[in-house]
């Protein structure tokens, strides 16, 4: 009897629904596919290259900034060196000129000459100390700025990857949710189709049997009985048992 019912109502719709699978996608940076009841998103070669390029750009920037730090090491940087060298050059020239002038006056070895020379040496010594202190503070500030810029570049490299991962995770979550809703709707449609086929099959058979036994009145009674049996689900065994 199952073959008779299946022949009358067919199973094409059920097969089409049972073969349903959410479609995947392919984009320049990402691709997705549905398998084993889950949606999988993966990065394409182009997407991987783009993310890696951005990350490496930030890392190279951090590396280049790091190379600048020795040149502004507080107290030993290029700024301190240049200023101290300038002060010492000026001191050598000034003290040299002073001694030359004192020599012309024939007082170079006198107490007066010694005091004048010591006074200039002390003045330039204080000037060098002031220059060192000022340069130290400026180089300290520059070092702090470079460390901050280097850290920001390193953070940018990590953020580029984390941002992409969050983006991909968000897409995967939305697609998984959509595919879940689609498969649930498909399962419901399959159930409704089976129920519809079951009820229709028994109602038709009840009508035919009732008409054969009792004419038009019997047909009405048979139709009602067949429809009731279909709603109870007995027809599933007849329609789908020999799949």
Q: How many residues does the chain have?
A: 243
Q: Give the total number of structural domains in the chain.
A: 1
3-class secondary-structure state, position 156: helix
In b/e form, how buried is each residue of 136-171, taking b as 16+ CB within 10 angstroms?
A: bebbeebbeebeebbeebbebbeebeeebeeebeeb
Under the banding of pLDDT at 50, 70 and 90, the label for residue 3 is: very low
Q: Tell me the pTM.
A: 0.56
Instruction: Tell me whether residue 241 is in a domain.
Output: no
pLDDT tens by residue, 80-139: 999 999 999 999 999 999 999 988 888 888 999 899 999 999 999 999 999 999 999 999
239, part of any domain = no
Confidence band, pLDDT 50/70/90 cuts, at residue 228:
low
Q: Is residue 242 part of a domain?
A: no
**Residue 100: inside a domain:** yes
Is the backbone of residue 37 left (phi > 0), alpha (psi -120 to 50) or beta? left
236 is a domain residue: no
213 located within any domain: yes
The reply to whether 33 falls in a domain is yes
Q: Which of 232, 233, 228 is nearest to 210 (CA)?
A: 228
Is 240 among the domain residues? no
Q: Which range (111-120, 170-179, 224-233) has the least confidence?
A: 224-233
Domain that holds residue 89: 2-231
């Amino acid at each position: 009897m199952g073959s008779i019912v299946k022949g009358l109502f067919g199973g094409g719709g059920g097969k089409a629904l049972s073969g349903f699978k959410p479609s995947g996608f392919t984009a320049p940076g990402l691709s997705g596919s549905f398998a084993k009841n889950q949606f999988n998103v993966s990065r394409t070669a182009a997407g991987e290259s783009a993310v890696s390029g951005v990350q490496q750009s930030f890392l190279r920037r951090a590396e280049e900034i790091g190379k600048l730090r020795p040149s502004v090491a507080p107290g030993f940087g290029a700024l301190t060196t240049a200023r101290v060298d300038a002060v010492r050059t000026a001191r050598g020239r000034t003290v040299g000129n002073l001694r030359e002038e004192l020599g012309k006056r024939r007082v170079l070895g006198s107490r007066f000459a010694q005091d004048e020379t010591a006074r200039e040496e002390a003045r330039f010594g204080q000037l060098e100390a002031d220059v060192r202190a000022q340069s130290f503070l400026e180089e300290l500030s520059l070092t702090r700025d470079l460390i901050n810029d280097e850290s920001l570049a390193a953070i940018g490299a990590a953020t580029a990857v984390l941002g992409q991962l969050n983006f991909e995770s968000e897409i995967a979550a939305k697609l998984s949710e959509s595919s879940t809703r689609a498969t649930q709707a498909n399962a419901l449609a399959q159930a409704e189709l089976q129920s519809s086929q079951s009820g229709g099959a028994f109602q038709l058979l009840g009508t035919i049997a009732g008409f054969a036994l009792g004419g038009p009145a019997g047909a009405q009674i048979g139709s009602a009985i067949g429809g009731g049996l279909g709603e109870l689900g007995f027809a599933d065994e007849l329609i789908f048992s020999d799949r």
